[in-house]
Structure 1
Amino acid sequence: MRRTAAEWSLQPSRRQRSLNLLFLLLAAALIIPFSIPLALLVAVAGLLLMVVVSRPPVPALGVGNDGWWISWRGERRSVEWRSGSQRLPDQLYLVWGFWPWQTLHIRADSCRSADDFRRLKAALYGSQ
């Protein structure tokens, strides 16, 4: 039995296009309500991370007759330590404002010597 050559010209199926479009619309209807809050959450978290990481360093802090001060953006600024400050054996976490960037994280090696760090802790929390 001899076969004859044949050729068929095909075109896109309208029904398949309709099914594809319906699937995409249903998937979008299910995904978009969850993805918008997630995208906003990721954006806010990224923004907060940038703010916290890019805060200017505090080159000095001290205490005088007027209370505690820090050198902040080139000027001496009076501060009052707030609740949430923490004292650990080799580090201090001092909160002086409401915002996340209004904190100081001082490790023992942030000071010139171990004695300087001990004196700072003694000035903050009394003799140890």
Structure 2
Amino acid sequence: MSASGVGPFENDSAMDLLDELRGLAEGEVIDALRDALSAAAEVEPGDFLDRDLGEPAVAASAVSLAKIKGRGSVLEEAELTDVVPEIPSSIFSLVVSALSRVLQEDSEAYGLWIDAGRGDEWKAEVERLLNEADEVTQGASG
């Protein structure tokens, strides 16, 4: 496994997404985040979720949450400080769907972390993001 850590940006697929985002015009960033999230969310339960779909969805979730929560240090770490525009709150229902999908047993990313003996640690990080996204969606609808 080439991932170096359980954080949302600590794998090759996430780094590829971050590189893509850095090269986009501001108006294209939201579409790219939505595409990464949709790619994971649309994999049917019971079908295998490839890590190349799951890991970018986790990274897109982390970027979206960092922007809406005002976590400039996360965006700075990802070198996206001046790249990510305001995130529409409507995207967070997709964040919830994508993260929920990534946490299922047929998710390759989850399985690889379990095999590496760090499944609980990885799952806790993704669940933390999922809980934050749930809070945002509840705040937007309430």
TM-score (norm 2): 0.23
- Normalized per residue, the structure richer in helix is 2
What's the TM-score once normalised by structure 1's chain length? Answer: 0.25
Q: Which has the larger radius of gyration?
A: 1
Task: Name the structure with the higher strand share.
Answer: 1
